[in-house]
């Protein structure tokens, strides 16, 4: 099948590559010339396990191509995927300018039937806006061409994006026209062999499903963080509580890890956007505001513990920081808790030596040569000449450090762990003070 993907970010590049892997003829288009030039040489703009090899293989085999030529892109695919960003606007609502710009481009260059598939996360009603935009442009050009608009939200997780796309839990097809359901079923058939994963519904419900999924996951995290803070006050251990409730099959173990807050490109912006959609429609979504507020507060929890430990005086101290990415197996630092902690420490007069296995380049781009921040090439280098260690991302290689060596290196012999990586008893054996989340 001939498929065009607009946007070569986390979602567009993974979607295009996986569809090519299944034997389709895929053309990916982006407005970023540098990105496209690099992709043509198999230089991947993001870190995503397995992606680079797959891009290389499919490009070599001629099933995956990259361009900035929008006319070529629209001519190419019967299926035109929109996978561009929907960042938060100033008021928290999703900014649709990139999505609608693509709709415009498709309409301007279209001269036969096209299926426009929206993979970006967009507020309820965007399908109609895309349809109206395309129709308007066609009318202006006096063209009468049939097209369909489909909502096909993406649920992949950064860090496991390829396996999530290849073996999805579900494929949501939101359409008001049964013929497009059949077309998409045919396109997704290779991903649907083991059992039927397709759930077809109307466009508005499909659009809301994506927000509902992310808001539910964010709610679970904020709920657990709220409980963790309470556990500390009450002298309970949130890790025991986590095991205790996770064992209930109605609750389950997923997404109930307490920590220093969720980040990333999706949860924060999607919770805000859904709250905003509710407001615009005269509904006050109180739970969503609470989820967001709890998370914002949680991103300061480690800093507050540090302040308390040092009685508010950290001026001149140097902190090692392990983990910059918002979660392991990605280099994505959008809304990462590490950013809040680094900012707070430096504002309070401390210095930070930070390390992350994949996000150093991204950190360089974000922070530039920020005074007080040193980016280090290894976790050992980050702890050299520091007073204390903070852990912000739960990368596997942080899980079993040499505690004796840490005790020797950290002048104040103290660890602030925002991800509950260690058993407090094990750490304390090495005369290290240990602060974690929800464990007094
Ligand atoms: N990142 C995730 O894990 C994830 C998961 C599910 C859904 N989503 C949603 O998918 C959408 C895309 O997210 P992302 O993380 O891939 O974004 P991204 O910022 O990584 O990539 C977006 C890409 O679109 C390109 N672009 C912008 N305007 C364009 C245009 N007119 N034509 C062609 N390309 C254009 C940009 O240059 C960029 O390369 C968002 O709505 C996001 O909420 C993201």
pLDDT in tens, 293-335: 999 999 999 999 999 999 999 999 999 999 999 999 999 999 9
Q: Which atom of ligand 1 is nearest to the CA of 94?
A: 41
- Does the beta carbon of 290 lie inside 6 Å of ligand 1? no
Q: Which residues are paired to 434 by β-bridges?
A: 415
225-236: average pLDDT: 98
- Please, are residues 361 and 433 in contact by the beta-carbon 8 Å criterion? no
Name the residue at shortest CA distance from atom 36 of ligand 1.
Answer: 7
Pocket test residue of 45, 70, 84, 163 for ligand 1, highest count of atoms within 8 A of CB? 84
Nearest to 24 by CA among 200, 210, 189: 189
CA separation for the pair 37, 336 (Å, rounded): 29
- Does the beta carbon of 86 lie inside 6 Å of ligand 1? yes
pTM of the model: 0.95
How do residues 146-203 score in pLDDT, each as one tens digit?
999 999 999 999 999 999 999 999 999 999 999 999 999 999 999 999 899 999 999 9
Cα-only R_g, the chain: 24
Return the pLDDT at 316: 97
How do residues 59-79 score in pLDDT, each as one tens digit?
999 999 999 999 999 999 999
CA separation for the pair 70, 5 (Å, rounded): 11
| H or E element at residue 150 | strand 147-151
- Please, are residues 134 and 117 in contact by the beta-carbon 8 Å criterion? no
Q: Which residues are paired to 29 by β-bridges?
A: 6, 67
Return the pLDDT at 440: 78
> Ligand 1: distance of its center to the CA of 30 in Å?
10
Nearest to 321 by CA among 345, 347, 300, 298: 345
- Please, are residues 123 and 273 in contact by the beta-carbon 8 Å criterion? yes
Report which DSSP code applies to 189.
G
How do residues 384-419 score in pLDDT, each as one tens digit?
999 999 999 999 999 999 999 999 999 999 999 999
Nearest to 21 by CA among 77, 79, 64: 64
Pairing mode, strands 79-82 and 433-435: unpaired
> Ligand 1: distance of its center to the CA of 14 in Å?
11
Q: Does residue 275 surpass a pLDDT of 90? A: yes
Q: Please give the structure tokens belonging to residue 111.
A: 């001269």
Pairing mode, strands 147-151 and 433-435: unpaired
Q: Which atom of ligand 1 is nearest to the CA of 157?
A: 3
3-state secondary structure of 59: helix
Q: Which atom of ligand 1 is nearest to the CA of 101?
A: 31
- Does the beta carbon of 95 lie inside 6 Å of ligand 1? no
CA separation for the pair 191, 173 (Å, rounded): 14
370-382: average pLDDT: 97
Q: Please give the structure tokens belonging to residue 334.
A: 């959008």
Q: 224: Cβ–Cβ under 8 A, 6 or more apart, which residues?
A: 238, 242, 255, 256, 257, 258
Return the pLDDT at 260: 98
Q: Please give the structure tokens belonging to residue 433.
A: 């003070």
3-state secondary structure of 337: helix
Name the residue at shortest CA distance from atom 19 of ligand 1.
Answer: 85
- Does the beta carbon of 15 lie inside 6 Å of ligand 1? no
CA separation for the pair 115, 106 (Å, rounded): 10
Report which DSSP code applies to 88.
B
Residue 316: burial class (beta carbons within 10 Å; 0-12, 13-18, 19+): exposed
> Ligand 1: distance of its center to the CA of 421 in Å?
32
> Ligand 1: distance of its center to the CA of 1 in Å?
23
Return the pLDDT at 130: 98
Q: Where in the sequence numbering do the catalytic residues fall? A: 266
Average pLDDT, the chain: 97
- Does the beta carbon of 287 lie inside 6 Å of ligand 1? no
260-279: average pLDDT: 96
> Ligand 1: distance of its center to the CA of 10 in Å?
7
- Please, are residues 159 and 49 in contact by the beta-carbon 8 Å criterion? yes
Return the pLDDT at 348: 98
Q: Which residues are paired to 201 by β-bridges?
A: 174
Pocket test residue of 85, 156, 271 for ligand 1, highest count of atoms within 8 A of CB? 85
Q: Does residue 20 surpass a pLDDT of 90? A: yes
Q: How many CB atoms lie within 10 A of CB 317?
A: 19
β-sheet with 147-151: strand ranges across: 64-67, 25-29, 2-6, 79-82, 114-118, 147-151, 171-174, 198-201
Q: 47: Cβ–Cβ under 8 A, 6 or more apart, which residues?
A: 330, 331, 358, 359
> Ligand 1: distance of its center to the CA of 87 in Å?
9
- Does the beta carbon of 120 lie inside 6 Å of ligand 1? yes
CA separation for the pair 116, 73 (Å, rounded): 13
Q: Does residue 257 surpass a pLDDT of 90? A: yes
Q: Which atom of ligand 1 is nearest to the CA of 158?
A: 3
- Please, are residues 165 and 18 in contact by the beta-carbon 8 Å criterion? yes
Return the pLDDT at 90: 86
Q: Which residue has the tokens 């959008």?
A: 334
């Amino acid at each position: 099948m001939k498929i065009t993907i607009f946007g070569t970010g986390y979602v567009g590049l993974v979607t295009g590559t996986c569809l090519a892997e299944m034997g389709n003829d895929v053309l990916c288009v982006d407005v970023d010339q540098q990105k496209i030039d690099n992709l043509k040489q198999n230089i991947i703009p993001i870190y995503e396990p397995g992606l680079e090899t797959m891009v290389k293989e499919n490009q070599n085999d001629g099933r995956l191509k990259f361009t900035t030529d929008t006319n070529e892109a629209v001519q190419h695919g019967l299926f035109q995927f929109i996978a561009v960003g929907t960042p938060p606007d100033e008021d928290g609502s999703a900014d649709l300018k990139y999505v609608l710009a693509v709709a415009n481009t498709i309409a301007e260059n279209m001269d036969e039937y096209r299926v426009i598939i929206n993979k970006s996360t967009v507020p309820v009603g965007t399908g109609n806006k895309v349809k109206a935009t395309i129709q308007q442009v066609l009318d202006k050009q006096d063209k009468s061409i049939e097209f369909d608009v489909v909502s096909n939200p993406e649920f992949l997780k950064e860090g496991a994006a390829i396996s999530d796309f290849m073996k999805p839990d579900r494929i949501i097809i939101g359409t008001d026209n049964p013929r497009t359901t059949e077309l998409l079923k045919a396109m997704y058939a290779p991903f649907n062999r083991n059992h039927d994963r397709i759930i077809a519904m109307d466009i508005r419900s499909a659009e809301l499903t994506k927000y509902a999924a992310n808001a539910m996951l964010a709610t679970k995290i904020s709920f657990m963080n709220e409980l963790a803070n309470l556990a500390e006050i009450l002298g309970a251990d949130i890790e025991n509580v986590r095991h205790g409730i996770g064992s209930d099959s109605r609750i389950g173990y997923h997404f109930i890890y307490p920590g220093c807050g969720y980040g990333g490109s999706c949860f924060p912006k999607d919770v805000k956007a859904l709250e905003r959609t509710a407001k615009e429609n005269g509904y006050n979504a109180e739970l969503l505001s609470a989820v967001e507020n709890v998370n914002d507060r949680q991103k300061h929890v480690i800093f507050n513990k540090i302040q308390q430990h040092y009685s508010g005086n950290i001026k001149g101290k140097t902190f090692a920081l392990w983990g910059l990415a918002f979660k392991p197996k990605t280099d994505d630092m959008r809304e990462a808790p590490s950013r809040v902690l680094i900012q707070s420490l430096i504002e309070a007069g401390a210095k930070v030596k930070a390390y992350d296995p994949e996000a150093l380049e991204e950190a360089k781009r974000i922070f530039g040569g920020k005074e007080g921040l040193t980016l280090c090439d290894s976790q050992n280098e980050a702890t050299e000449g520091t007073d204390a260690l903070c852990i912000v991302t739960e990368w596997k290689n942080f899980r079993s450090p040499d505690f004796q060596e840490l005790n020797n290196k950290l002048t104040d012999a103290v660890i602030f762990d925002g991800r509950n990586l260690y058993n407090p008893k094990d750490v304390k054996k090495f005369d290290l003070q240990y602060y974690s989340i929800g464990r007094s």
